[in-house]
Amino acid sequence: MSARTGAPARALAAAAAVAALAALAGCGTGGTGSIVFNSLEVGDCYYDGDPLTDPVSLDLHFFGAERFADAMLVRIQEGTSAAINADGVYLSIGDVDQVAVGAALPVGLGENVESVLYLLNTCPAGRPAVGLTGTLVLDFFEDADGDGGPDAGDRIAGTLTASGADDTDPQAVVAADLVLTFDFVMHRGHPARRFPTYDALEVY
């Protein structure tokens, strides 16, 4: 892994938690996508009785997006539980007006697109999360009402190719190299769900 993200990862995860706490309106659950790990290591965590050092693929079931003026928070995860009990990825877009469909958008701390991987279901004891660095290519980022970014009824689809690592605690190394694909339509109201209220993520 090329990115060592200890303190930045903590800052990014905290920002994602704050944004989730602030979300008021609903998102959606339906969509298609997956997270394929080229490599994954989480120290002090076991999967089916073995140390979690082998790649694991996640089938995604929850696809949510929330607008905050020009900003957007996207949560994509396995299962429909609250994020505190799930595995998934956050994408935080600072300004939707700067998003170009088809372009390789840089992802990382301080970029217009920031991202966090969280594995709070697979590794509930350690509660690992790590900031990601890479690129996001959006195939669809619809804007039916012309306000600069997606709203209810608009389609969002793309691919995130990213990696991240945090070795602050030698006993609890978190390292991942992954490809996330997603395709969903934003919803509001039933059966849409609100982002959950939960404690800030503890990042190694």
For the residues of 1-51, what is the DSSP string, one character each? -----HHHHHHHHHHHHHHHHH--SB-----EEEEEEEEEEETT-EETTEE
- As a whole number of angstroms, the distance between CA 163 and CA 4 comes to 10
What is residue 159's predicted lDDT score, i.e. its pLDDT? 97
What is residue 119's predicted lDDT score, i.e. its pLDDT? 84
Greater confidence (88 vs 126) lies with 88
**pTM (predicted TM-score):** 0.77
**If pLDDT is split at 50, 70 and 90, which confidence band does 7 have?**
very low
What is residue 48's predicted lDDT score, i.e. its pLDDT? 56
Least confidently predicted of 2-16, 109-123, 153-167: 2-16
Greater confidence (52 vs 97) lies with 97
| Residues 89-126: tens digit of each pLDDT | 999 999 999 999 999 999 999 999 999 998 888 777 66
Look at residue 162 and tell me whether its pLDDT is greater than 90: yes
Q: Residue holding tokens 């999967």?
A: 47
**If pLDDT is split at 50, 70 and 90, which confidence band does 149 have?**
confident
What is residue 198's predicted lDDT score, i.e. its pLDDT? 34
Q: 155-186: string of b/e by CB count within 10 Å (b at 16+)?
A: ebbbbbbbbbbbbeeeebbbbbbbebbbbbbb
Q: What is the rounded average pLDDT of the residues 1-8?
A: 39
Look at residue 50 and tell me whether its pLDDT is greater than 80: no
Look at residue 76 and tell me whether its pLDDT is greater than 50: yes
Look at residue 18 and tell me whether its pLDDT is greater than 70: no
Least confidently predicted of 46-50, 115-119, 176-180: 46-50
Look at residue 77 and tell me whether its pLDDT is greater than 50: yes
Among residues of the chain, what percentage have pLDDT more than 90? 33
